[in-house]
Amino acid sequence: MSEITRYSLTEIKTLLEKKSLTSEEIVSAYQTAYENDNNADIPLNGYIEFFKDARTRASAEDIKRKNNTHGRLSGLPIAVKDNILITGKKATCGSKILEGFSAPYTATVIRRLEKEGAVFLGRTNMDEFAMGSSCEYSQYGPTRNPVNREYVPGGSSGGSAAVVGAFQAPAALGSDTGGSVRLPASFCGLYGLKPGYGTLSRYGLVAYGSSLDQIGIVAHNPADIALLLSVCAGIDSKDSTSRDFSYSDMFPLTPGNLKGLKVALPVQLNGEGNSDSVRKTAAGFIDWLKQQGADVSEISIPNLSYTVAIYYIIAPAEASSNLARYDGIEYGLRNDNGNLLDMYINTRSEGFGSEVKRRIFIGNYVLSSGYYDAYYKKAQAVRSLLTHEFDNIFTDYDIVLSPTSPTPPFKLGEKLDDPVTMYLQDICTIYANLVGIPAISIPAGMSNDNLPIGMQLAGRQGNENLLLSIAQSWKNRGGAA
Amino acid sequence: MKYDVIIGCEVHVQLSTKSKAFCTCRNVFGGEPNSRVCPVCLGLPGSLPVPNKEHIRSAIKAGRALGCSIAPLTKFDRKNYMYPDLPKAYQISQYDMPICNNGMLTVFTQEGTRDIRILRIHMEEDTGKNIHADDGSHESYVDYNRSGTPLLEIVSEPDMRSPAEAAAFVMSIHEIMQYLEISDCNMEEGSLRCDANINLWVYEEEKKYATPIVEIKNMNSFKAIQAALEYEVQRQADEWQNHRLTREAAGKSTRGWNEASGKTILQRTKEEEADYRYFPEPDLKPLSISADLIQSIEKTIGELPKEKRERFMHQLGLSETDTIVLTTEKAFADYFEQILTHYPNPKKTANWLLGEVKKYLNAGNISISDFRTTPAHIAELLLLQESGKISGKMAKDVFIKMAATGKAAQEIVSAEGLSQISDRGELEKIVIEVIAANPGSADDYRNGKLQAIKFLMGQVMKASKGKANPQEAEKLLSEKLSS
């Protein structure tokens, strides 16, 4: 494996600035790493497609740098989840139903990165339409965990985390609706941030659960995330749920001073439900926080027990509506045997996988007349309560701490036949999406089987900077995790 | 058979905002299929709607003009159903928190006046259009130009008691929307569409029975509304006598008006009705509407048809018939009033507008807004006539030339040397010459054959090449002949 691929995004930035390396050399190294791995016995399968034009774009950026007309991210390579649109590139969301669909426009986040000279390496694998926690529900086969290929990388942004973990990209964009960036980051031993709702424009991110979806970032280093966030965050006239907030002074990132930091430890997410190795890792992390002068207290948030239930009403409800447009009329797969109704049925039966179908059924059920009040309306009511509770918690605490996942990574196929167990995988992460606050997963330890374990910090809306600076302090700490 | 007719209307009004409801595509009628589209109105994956301020302002304006209260907090919802012309497979609409509630519109028919309650007005987006090839290929196409066009849906209470009242209600809505200048209100282009719910209350042996409610669609003109509903009243009365089906037993069905056959045709029964699975649109935040905003929009409402008519009749002294014709179209009424600022004679102006101008516009199928002659030019023409510079007949000829060229009246009169000879000295010269040249006729007149003056007048007109002011000339002739 080439040494070049070991650099973090910010290290690459420095090397490019010093002209010690060219972007083309770097992108070539990643391409070689990807190609070699693809020929291995058990390929990672993190990319659905490595862009053939990545190297040419990199050399174009090298020329801009020579001419001093380059942007802040000139030549920096980034991998992109297969549900974020780049004009002219395919975007399938890991689904057969979007087979052959080429994006006719570019997502706002991509446009902002592109403007500053970022080079996109390829499209990363994902659970179909971001529905899944293991990256096994993809039309393109499962992605494997770079730490141990018998294990899943977590989902749904499993491809994004895996390519970063396997040094096939220094950083990647994912999307997080219930934990889909943080869980893979945790399983692959990386930093993964889900910004607060509205921090990153959703324009051009293919919708799953519109009120929960956020683009997130996976990297080796909190500073890498801060760099990308500083370029692409902020209000977008094309997304009326985006927030007016300036993140431009976020980079360079300074490590946080944890003295007096008030940390809440909800008992609902830090108890018996977590595996031994996770609890051990959590205890170690809490010790470190205390050593840094943080003030850690246990609290109880009873409504946290309902988050999975609420999520599996709201997200499928929104998904059932968002995915109804895949009907074979305008784009994507079309199976037009018979009349219009046959075409709908044939196209959708053939195009969607079983997990997506399950959630469409659930969503249509909870929205249907006679059931709406009992499910959707009630779920939204609990969501409002939860949001209110977190508003109160954040008047007393700066950070809410829990593991990212109750368990270390599991093996491929282990939970495929048991959707409910798979759903419970997101028990620690979902609340941040329901409430709309930023949360980060930090690589905090290893299990007995040598698999990564992550800790999750959640903060107030707008406090991405605090989360990243604490993460940076952790990264800079002496000794190994 | 004794019964009451119960009708409620849903009127869809396409708004003439600059851009579409949730994207920046231009909002105009027609165009090359799929030429006015973008990721948002095509419903492409990843696209998001952004609300249009003009859409919201138009809704508030319409609501206030119809006496509605404006909700301080309103939101958009998704109405889910699959159809090729609906690219997202849901329509962004408003379900349980519409922007306007509880208004009132009084309609006038030959049967009298009736207050029709407005239940609500909500904002939504229009669909695209399915096009079925007529070349035998069985191919279907979709044109998304109309997709995302901003609409208002105005829903009445079931307060209308006859087809004529329903037609009058829709006409009145049409007129008001036009006065508010928020819609083209072109029924042929579908910018104002109406569906009606209709059933009967049948009275038999001291009991009241409600027949099944039927929704009538595809009524594309005021005439069609009345004809379709009249047909439906008869059909429901017959059905009651034959089957005695009540609303409770049969539920609601949908029928389409078929203009050619003059019948309504069953489209859907209750069992086939879609469950729209409404839920709040997560891509759009709820909207807070301030009292200040409402007030500032109210100031732009201006005079409504009813107020204008009262003013025209009572202040300008116009007849009811003239008033109605002048005020049906706001642009026409505005044109009329602009003439009055230069030529403050309402009756003469009305006569001219409803006579010559209307005749010209109708003949050429020209709308008043496309008419090249300005109100100031018409005023000038009327002043030229009134001062005697030109005759009534000349005025009509000059008008035709003005309308064709867009030139001012004076310009045409001067260029063609059309102005009338009213100068006494000049006329006297001609009159004396004519009397001298026709002594026989002059004597006839003096001997009591008064018709002889007609011949002499003809000679005066001939000698003056038609420019002599006829009234003045005749007066002078009789003076000279009698002296």
- In B301-344, which residue ranges form alpha helices assigned H by DSSP? 305-314, 320-327, 330-342
Interface touch B46/A206, C-beta < 8 Å? yes
Does pLDDT of A248 surpass 80? no
For residues A1-28, average pLDDT: 94
Question: Two tokens at B122?
Answer: 């909500």
CA–CA min distance B228, chain A (Å): 30
What is the enclosing helix (H) or strand (E) of B197? strand B192-204
Measured between alpha carbons, how far is A205 from A88 in angstroms, rounded to an integer?
Answer: 15
**0.80 surpassed by pTM:** yes
Interface touch A321/B89, C-beta < 8 Å? yes
For residues B427-438, average pLDDT: 88
Q: Which of A106, A321, A368 to mutate to test the interface with B (most CBs of B within 10 A)?
A: A321
Residue B431 burial (CB count, 10 A):
28
Residues counted in chain A? 481
Which of A13, A23, A74, A81 is labelled catalytic?
Answer: A81
pLDDT digits 0-9 by tens, A438-466 = 999 999 999 999 999 999 999 999 999 99
Identify the band that residue A72 occupies on the pLDDT scale cut at 50, 70 and 90. Answer: very high
Interface touch A84/B46, C-beta < 8 Å? yes
Question: Two tokens at A347?
Answer: 């196209």
Name the residue among B51, B80, B285 with its Cβ closest to that of A321: B80
Measured between alpha carbons, how far is A431 from A462 in angstroms, rounded to an integer?
Answer: 16
Single-letter code of the amino acid located at B468: A
The pLDDT value given to residue A134: 97
Calculate the alpha carbon distances from B417 to B380, B395, B399, B420 in Å: 17, 13, 15, 9
The sheet that has B90-93: what strands, in order across it? B90-93, B77-80, B279-280
Active site (annotated) includes residue A81: yes
Identify the residue whose tokens are 């018709």: B451
Q: Is A200 helix (H, G, I), strand (E, B) or coil?
A: coil
Interface touch B88/A325, C-beta < 8 Å? yes
Instruction: Find the distance separating the first CA and the last CA of chain B, reported in whole Å.
Output: 82
The pLDDT value given to residue B199: 96
Angle at B224 between CA B223 and CA B225, to 5 degrees: 90
The pLDDT value given to residue A480: 44
The pLDDT value given to residue B234: 97
Interface touch B282/A211, C-beta < 8 Å? yes
pLDDT digits 0-9 by tens, A302-334 = 999 999 999 999 999 999 999 999 999 999 999
Residue A454 backbone phi and psi in degrees, to 5: -115, 150
Identify the band that residue A1 occupies on the pLDDT scale cut at 50, 70 and 90. Answer: low
User: Which stretches of chain A sit within 8 Å of chain B by CB?
Assistant: 83-85, 91, 93, 98, 101, 103-105, 107, 202-207, 209-211, 237-241, 317-318, 320-321, 324-325, 327, 329-331, 340, 344, 364, 367-369, 372, 376
Interface touch A98/B89, C-beta < 8 Å? no
Name the residue among B80, B142, B282 with its Cβ closest to that of A329: B142
Identify the band that residue B473 occupies on the pLDDT scale cut at 50, 70 and 90. Answer: confident
Strands (DSSP E) found in A352-421: 399-403
Q: Are A166 and A44 within 8 A, CB to CB?
A: yes
Does pLDDT of A108 surpass 80? yes
Measured between alpha carbons, how far is B416 from B398 in angstroms, rounded to an integer?
Answer: 10
Q: Are B216 and B257 within 8 A, CB to CB?
A: yes
Q: Which residue has the higher pLDDT, A408 or B418?
A: A408
Closest Cα in chain B to A97: B45
Question: Distance between alpha carbon A350 and the CA centroid of its chain, in Å?
Answer: 27
Does pLDDT of B182 surpass 80? yes
Q: Are A82 and A45 within 8 A, CB to CB?
A: no
Name the residue among A103, A204, A241 with its Cβ closest to that of B283: A241
What is the helix, strand, coil percentage profile of chain A, to 5? 40, 15, 45
pLDDT digits 0-9 by tens, B374-431 = 999 999 999 988 887 888 888 888 999 999 898 998 888 888 777 777 778 888 888 8
As a whole-number percent, the residues of chain A with pLDDT over 90 amount to 93
CATH class, A3-232 region: alpha beta
The pLDDT value given to residue A351: 98
Measured between alpha carbons, how far is A168 from A34 in angstroms, rounded to an integer?
Answer: 6
- State the virtual CA torsion across B12, B15, B19, B21 in degrees, nearest 10: -40
Interface touch A324/B82, C-beta < 8 Å? yes
Interface touch B78/A317, C-beta < 8 Å? no
Measured between alpha carbons, how far is A34 from A167 in angstroms, rounded to an integer?
Answer: 9
| Closest to A124 measured CA to CA, from A147, A144, A150, A100 | A144
Does pLDDT of A345 surpass 90? yes
pLDDT digits 0-9 by tens, B122-156 = 999 999 999 998 888 888 999 999 999 999 999 99
Identify the band that residue B17 occupies on the pLDDT scale cut at 50, 70 and 90. Answer: very high
- Mean per-residue pLDDT over chain A, rounded: 96
Identify the residue whose tokens are 């001067």: B414
Measured between alpha carbons, how far is A101 from A97 in angstroms, rounded to an integer?
Answer: 9
Question: Two tokens at B227?
Answer: 């004809």
Name the residue among B39, B90, B279 with its Cβ closest to that of A376: B279
Active site (annotated) includes residue A384: no
- Complex-level ipTM: 0.96
Angle at A439 between CA A383 and CA A380, to 5 degrees: 10
The pLDDT value given to residue B482: 81
pLDDT digits 0-9 by tens, B68-85 = 999 999 999 999 999 999
| Closest to B236 measured CA to CA, from B474, B7, B471, B472 | B7
Q: Which of A238, A326, A345 to mutate to test the interface with B (most CBs of B within 10 A)?
A: A238
pLDDT digits 0-9 by tens, A60-71 = 999 999 999 999
Phi-psi sector, A370: left (phi>0), alpha (psi -120 to 50), beta: left
Q: Which of B48, B50, B92, B93 to mutate to test the interface with A (most CBs of A within 10 A)?
A: B48
Active site (annotated) includes residue A194: no
The pLDDT value given to residue B423: 78
pLDDT digits 0-9 by tens, B264-290 = 999 988 777 789 999 999 999 999 999
Does pLDDT of B165 surpass 80? yes
The pLDDT value given to residue A479: 52
Question: Two tokens at B426?
Answer: 């000049």
Identify the band that residue A481 occupies on the pLDDT scale cut at 50, 70 and 90. Answer: very low
Measured between alpha carbons, how far is B334 from B356 in angstroms, rounded to an integer?
Answer: 17
| Domain ranges within chain A, ordered by starting residue | 3-232
Name the residue among A237, A325, A369 with its Cβ closest to that of B87: A325
